[in-house]
């Protein structure tokens, strides 16, 4: 009987020891997992902080970019407006253009040769030249009083006096059209009241 009791006590001690071992292993495992989670959190926090900082900087840069883009567009509009005003200041009707030349001791340009026509065309400006039929309709004369003979550089179907449309002004002055026509076919009769650039020529 005593042997049986001793055996039961020994078995019970073994069971208790195993349970204690399991409990110890479980505590160690939980402690290890807890430590790992702590390490992961500690590692994650600086990364999250860096991400948040970079995101904030990105948003600030985007805001700055949008502001600069808006300012650039506003400046471009101001430049365009100023250029338009400046361009209009540099354009005048035919008579005022001639007066400006005369004040400079010159006159509106008289085209005497192919070379001169090519040179003037290269200025790339729609500009008045010194040719008009304002005195006698259909009789074209240069500003020095000489009649137009040759060479002449009328565009196709020009001069047309505005297509002979009575509702339109007479087209008594000549512009050099460099925007759409070829150098040797670049003259166009036009209303003297319109604003154009002009080309002065001074005889030396």
Tell whether the model's pLDDT for residue 12 goes beyond 80.
Answer: no
Q: What architecture is domain 94-201?
A: Roll (3.10)
| CA–CA distance, 34 with 66 (Å, rounded to integer) | 47
What confidence category does residue 70 fall into, taking pLDDT thresholds of 50, 70 and 90?
very high
Does residue 102 have a pLDDT over 60? yes
How many other CB atoms are found less than 10 A from the CB of residue 197? 17
- Residue-level pLDDT at 128: 98
| pLDDT for the residue numbered 168 | 58
Name which residue leads in pLDDT, 203 or 60.
60
7 pLDDT higher than 60:
no
Q: For 87-104, give the DSSP string.
A: HHHT-B-HHHHHHHHHHT
Average the pLDDT over each of 50-54, 135-139, 163-167 and give the range with the smallest value.
Answer: 163-167
What is the pLDDT, as a whole number, of residue 27? 46
Residue 117: which residues within 8 A CB-CB, separation 6 or more? Answer: 111, 151, 153, 183, 184, 186
Its pTM stands at 0.57
Is pLDDT above 80 for 152?
A: yes
Mean pLDDT of 116-136: 94
Mean of pLDDT values over 143-157:
90
CA pair distance 20, 40, nearest whole angstrom: 30
- Please answer whether residues 102 and 171 qualify as being in contact, where contact means their C-beta atoms are separated by less than 8 angstroms: no
* Rounded percentage of the chain residues whose pLDDT exceeds 70: 71
Is 80 exceeded by the pLDDT of residue 123? yes
**Cα dihedral 122, 123, 125, 127 sign:** negative
At residue 121 the predicted structure's pLDDT band, cuts being 50, 70 and 90, is: very high
34 pLDDT more than 70: no
78-82, 97-101, 164-168: range with highest mean pLDDT: 97-101
Q: What is the pLDDT of residue 63?
A: 94
């Amino acid at each position: 009987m005593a042997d049986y009791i001793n055996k039961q006590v020994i078995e019970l001690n073994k069971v208790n020891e195993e349970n204690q071992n399991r409990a110890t292993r479980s505590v160690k495992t939980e402690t290890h997992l807890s430590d790992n989670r702590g390490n992961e959190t500690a590692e994650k926090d600086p990364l999250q902080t860096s991400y948040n900082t970079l995101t904030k900087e990105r948003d600030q840069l985007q805001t700055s970019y949008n502001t600069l883009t808006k300012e650039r567009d506003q400046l471009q509009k101001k430049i365009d407006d100023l250029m338009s005003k400046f361009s209009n200041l540099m354009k005048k009707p035919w008579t005022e253009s001639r007066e400006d030349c005369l004040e400079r001791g010159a006159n509106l340009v008289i085209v005497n040769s192919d070379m001169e026509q090519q040179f003037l065309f290269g200025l790339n400006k729609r500009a008045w030249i010194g040719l008009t039929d304002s005195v006698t309709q259909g009789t074209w004369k240069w500003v020095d009083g000489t009649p137009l003979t040759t060479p002449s550089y009328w565009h196709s179907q020009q001069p047309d006096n505005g297509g002979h449309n009575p509702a339109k002004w007479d087209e008594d002055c000549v512009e050099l059209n460099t925007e759409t026509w070829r150098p040797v076919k670049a003259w166009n009769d036009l209303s003297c009241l319109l604003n154009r650039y002009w080309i002065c020529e001074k005889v030396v």
